[in-house]
Amino acid sequence: MAMDPKKDYQGLSDECLAMIEEVRSFCEKEVKQTAIDADANPEVQDPKMMEVIAKACKLGYNAFDVPAENGGAGFTKLESVALLEAMSWYDAGFGITISANGLAGGPVVIGGNQQQKDRMYEIIMNGGIGSFCLTEPAAGCDASAGQSVAVKEGDEYVINGGKCFITNGPLASYYVVFAMTDKSKGAGHGYSAFFIDKKAEDVPGMTIGRIENKMGIRNSQVSEVLFDNVRVPASALIGKEGEGFKLAMKTLDVARITCGITAIGICQRALDEAAAYTKERVQFGAPLANNEVIQFKLADMAMKLQAGRQLCIHATDLYMQHVPFSAEAAMAKCVASDASAYISSEAVQILGGYGFMRNYPVEKLMRDSKIFQIFEGTNEIQRMVIGRSIVK
């Protein structure tokens, strides 16, 4: 019962449906086994997986919602969400690598000038992906507590500080960096966003620190990104000084939908693996699938999956109609990630002892799912966003 793009998503174009087929065939060949092998590699950067990511970007999988006039596919947000779910079924780390490009590009799309947008799209169309540099050791859930600073000197800004847990840090060809330009105004009005249109190695003073060794989504690269007197031209500023926090929040609203749908990719994979196993596994003289206790488990998994998916689709619809959607995006992320934690754990349960073993795919899904309750704002933060929208 894999995701049916015509039934589960309404109104996808024929081009998008064809692209979903193309993506599935690419991932079947290139991602499926490589992701399992790379996950088992104790090294944090698996060379084969890096090659697959580069290949996918060369094919334009990083550019699904880049406008056609900039050379991209010009798919709608709903279409790129459906494509992301299809990719994430194969490997959530792969999905997050691709979707974090959208996260990085968000501030440029929302608040950047045409020159910045054109440059970013040029990088993406050349196979590049981006990195969103917000989180710091003291600023996780409390995004406003960042210590990085950008000081204006003539027609440049000088950035100092350190970011951590930065997705795509070691891989990126462009970075969007948040730093304080006026501490007296607090983060809400003192943070600014900067577009650095180069690889870190090409920016004097900018370095990639520790690359993290993670429990799950091991095929997504996460690192420190460090700034030591990094000089960027004044033209790197996105929007105006002081607009950074709001740009980050608006971007995260959209990214919470894509985070949610990546978790739905895990849900669907876990359900599919578990359902297939119940038909093969015979206990007490009959396939597990004949057992009502098991059917009820599969039913609960399917209900939670579809609830999460449809919340993601609903939040995407609101976004596309320019209707406020912050609370709905938070609901989508929260329900979808809780669903992936539950469903992947139930998949392990259904496979029993085999589910716990590394040579069956579901234990990886359980490890991959956990981070979705944590990043892009913990699910406690999502409840804060939803709760505030109710009582405001």
Q: What minimum distance in Å lies between the beta carbon of 40 and ligand CAA? A: 23
| Of 136, 142, 144, 139, the residue nearest 161 (C-alpha) | 136
327 binds ligand CAA (CB under 6 A): no
389 binds ligand CAA (CB under 6 A): no
Q: What minimum distance in Å lies between the beta carbon of 179 and ligand CAA? A: 15
Element (H, E) at 166: strand 156-167
Alpha helices in the chain (DSSP H): 5-8, 14-26, 32-40, 47-58, 77-90, 92-111, 114-125, 186-190, 244-280, 292-320, 326-355, 362-370, 379-391
79 binds ligand CAA (CB under 6 A): no
Strand partners, 139: 136
DSSP 136: B
180 binds ligand CAA (CB under 6 A): no
Radius of gyration of the chain (CA): 21
Q: Tell me which stretch binds ligand CAA (CB under 6 A): 148-156, 295-303, 314-322, 373-381.
A: 373-381
Q: What minimum distance in Å lies between the beta carbon of 293 and ligand CAA? A: 37
Catalytic residue among 85, 136, 376, 380: 376
* 241 annotated active-site: no
307 binds ligand CAA (CB under 6 A): no
377 binds ligand CAA (CB under 6 A): yes
376 binds ligand CAA (CB under 6 A): yes
Residue the block writes with tokens 């600014």: 192
The answer to whether 348 and 301 are in contact (CB under 8 A) is no
The answer to whether 119 and 175 are in contact (CB under 8 A) is no
Q: Tell me which stretch binds ligand CAA (CB under 6 A): 58-66, 114-122, 207-215, 249-257.
A: 249-257
Just list the catalytic residues.
376
Site residues, ligand CAA (CB under 6 A): 96, 100, 103, 132, 134-135, 141-144, 167, 188, 245-246, 249-250, 252-253, 326, 375-377, 381, 384-385
